Structure formats: C-alpha cells, structure tokens
Amino acid sequence: MAMEERVDTNKGQMKIGFIGLGIMGSRMAANLQQAGYELIIYNRTAAKAEELVKKGARLAKSPLEVSQKSEVIITMMENPQAVEAVANGENGFLNLSGANRLWIDCSTVNPSFVNMMAKKALTKGFRFLDAPVAGSKAPAASGDLVFLVGGDERDLKEVQPLFDIMGKKTIRVGEHGKGASMKIVVNMMMAQAMVAFSEGTSLGKSMGISEQALMDVVLNIPVSAPFLSAIRPRMENRDFTPNFPLKLIRKDLQMVSETAYENGVSMPSANLAKDIYTRAMSDGLGDQDFSSLFGYLNK
C-alpha cells in the first residue's frame, strides 16, 4: 500500500468517526475533540451525544453516514451483538465500498468474533485494528488508557497519534485478534484478583481483624494486584458507582469461558469466578461497579 493512500492524522484535515458513547467511549471521544480533531459521532441513544455536539461534533443519522464522512472509524461497544449491528446491520458503516477506511474497534469482545469482523472489514476494503483498552472511567477521562492492539504494524503507526491522545501506552500484541485475546486475559486476571481479595478479607474479618488492618497489610504486600489499592477508598466507602460495571466483567469471563472451550483449555478458577459474579448479578449488582463484589462478600 502506497503512503499516499494512508489516512492523514494531521488534525486540521482528518475526520474521525466515533461510534458508541457510553462510559468509556464518551470520554475517549472528548479527548480527541479536545485535541483538535473533528468528530462525526453516532450513538443509538442520541442524548449521549449532546455534550460532544455542543462542542462542535457532528451527529450522524446512521453508522453508515459515519464511514461516509470520516477516514478513521473508532467503535467502543458493549458486546459483539452491538458491534455487529453498527458494522453490518442496516445502514452499518461497512456498507461502503472501495473507501480504504481504517476501523479501530476498542470494544472488549471475544477473539473469534474479532477475527470474523477483521475478515469482513478486509472484504469490504476496510483496514482493521482491534484495540481494546486496559483501564476504566478515570483513565479514559484523563487519557491514560493502555491499548492492546492486534493488526498490521503500519496501520497502527498511522493512527498512533490518536492512541497517544486517548492513552498513555500502546502495545501491539500481534496480528488481528491478538489485541482482543490479550484483553480477555487481562480482564480475567482483574476479575480473579477481586474475588481473591474479597474472599480473603471476609476470612480475615471472621478472625477478628478489622477491614482497615486487612487493607493496610494485604494491599501493601506484593501479593495484591495494584489496582486494588487504587480503588481502596471506594471499597471502604462502599461507593460502587460504576466505572466498570459488574455485568461487563461477567461478560468478559463468559468470553474467557467460550474461548477456553473452543481451545480445549481447563480453567476451573476463572469459570468459578464467573459464577460468583453471576450470583452477585442475580442479587442485583449488575449495574454497579464490579468492585461491588467486595461489598457483597463483606457485608
């Protein structure tokens, strides 16, 4: 591919399409806008686009309009069904031929789905990067996300300036699908660390140790994942406003479960974690932060 075919990330000239304006997407898009990029945005619930529109973003009537009017399309959807809908559904943005657009999917979706999407994109003349993120609401807002990218190295290089605005680090894991693959491993680790910590504190408290003493020790010894320290104040205050909703980590664990099944890998501990979050969800915690599991097991 000749360089002149590549998109130009020079801010003055480049238009970025952004689809999916939830907790994460709205903040990522705002950072791009803030940095001077012109945005064409789409969201199923148009109300969520208001803030960006006020500051100059153009609201598209359909995903297709987004790809018609932008060189790079970024999607940040909740699940494979939603990605499928905006990409391949009626007026999906892939219904545009010969345009050499670059689609960056930042959604956390399962690797086999990503591989399928990558194929469809290439067939339609789109280039593709899977670029799920490590990090939740706060780093999305401050531009401190970590991107785990799968796809062509040159494609990544081309849009690196965008990743640099939205995040603090971009790691190319490998070819198409490898970003998504790495992402579910990362989220599985996070999910399990929360389970272990929640069980551990419940045991500790049953032995008469205070919650504060437990946190003082356990979170300051290298046996605990550092993200737990970061959210300690919220756990202590039982403030479970969603940064990363519990139902979404459960979704990720289901992807882990399906991928493990497809690949013949035995993962009893990850699967058990899924069932623990499922129980919490059936008790009404699905829309709270996933750290509400801590509160759930430490009443």
Stretch that binds its own copies, among 48-56, 72-80, 160-168, 180-188 (CB under 8 A): 180-188
In order of 7, 43, 246, the CA distances from 195 in angstroms are 44, 34, 12
Instruction: Assess 178 for contact with its own copies (CB under 8 A).
Output: yes
Give yes or no for a contact between 163 and 147, defined as CB atoms under 8 angstroms apart: yes
Within positions 87 to 126, which residues make up the interface with its own copies, using CB under 8 A?
A: 111
Does position 203 bind its own copies by CB under 8 A?
yes
Q: Which stretch binds its own copies (CB under 8 A): 33-41, 55-63, 156-164, 269-277?
A: 269-277
What are 152's two structure tokens?
Answer: 């062509």
Report if residue 174 touches its own copies, rule: CB under 8 A: yes
Residue 71 or 130 having the CB closest to its own copies: 130
Write down the least CB distance from residue 72 to its own copies, Å: 24
Q: State the catalytic residue, choosing from 124, 178, 183, 251.
A: 183
Q: Cβ of residue 296: shortest distance to its own copies, in angstroms?
A: 12
Q: Is 221 in the site for its own copies (CB under 8 A)?
A: yes
Nearest CB to its own copies, comparing residues 1 and 171? 171
Q: Which of 162, 121, 167 is nearest to 147 (CA)?
A: 167
Pick between residue 102 and residue 231 the one whose CB is nearest to its own copies. 231
Question: Total binding residues for its own copies by CB under 8 A?
Answer: 71
Write down the least CB distance from residue 167 to its own copies, Å: 12
Q: Does 138 bind its own copies (CB under 8 A)?
A: no
**What is the distance, to the nearest Å, from the Cα of residue 212 to the centroid of all Cα atoms in its chain?**
32
Query: Which pair of tokens denotes residue 160?
Result: 């690196």
C-beta closer to its own copies: residue 42 or 294: 294
Q: Which stretch binds its own copies (CB under 8 A): 17-25, 51-59, 119-127, 256-264?
A: 256-264
- Nearer CB in complex with its own copies: 36/174: 174
Neighbours of 37 (CB within 10 A): 22
Q: Going along the chain, which residue ranges are E strands?
A: 15-19, 38-42, 58-59, 72-75, 102-105, 127-130, 133-134, 145-151, 167-174
Partner residues linked to 146 by β-bridges = 134, 169
Q: In the bound complex, what is the minimum distance in angstroms from residue 258's beta carbon to its own copies?
A: 8
Active site residue 183: yes
The reply on whether position 177 binds its own copies by CB under 8 A is yes
Taking CB under 8 A as the criterion, the residue among 171, 241, 284, 287 binding its own copies is: 171
**Structural contact between residues 165 and 175, judged by C-beta atoms closer than 8 angstroms:** no
- Cα gap 36→133, rounded to integer Å: 22
Cβ atoms of residues 130 and 102 within 8 Å: no
Residue with Cβ nearer its own copies (60 or 246): 246
* 3-state DSSP helix/strand/coil % of the chain, to nearest 5: 55, 15, 30
Does 212 contact its own copies by CB under 8 A? no
- Positive or negative: CA dihedral 294, 243, 147, 173: positive
Q: Is the dihedral of CA 181, 187, 191, 192 positive or negative?
A: positive
Catalytic residues: 183
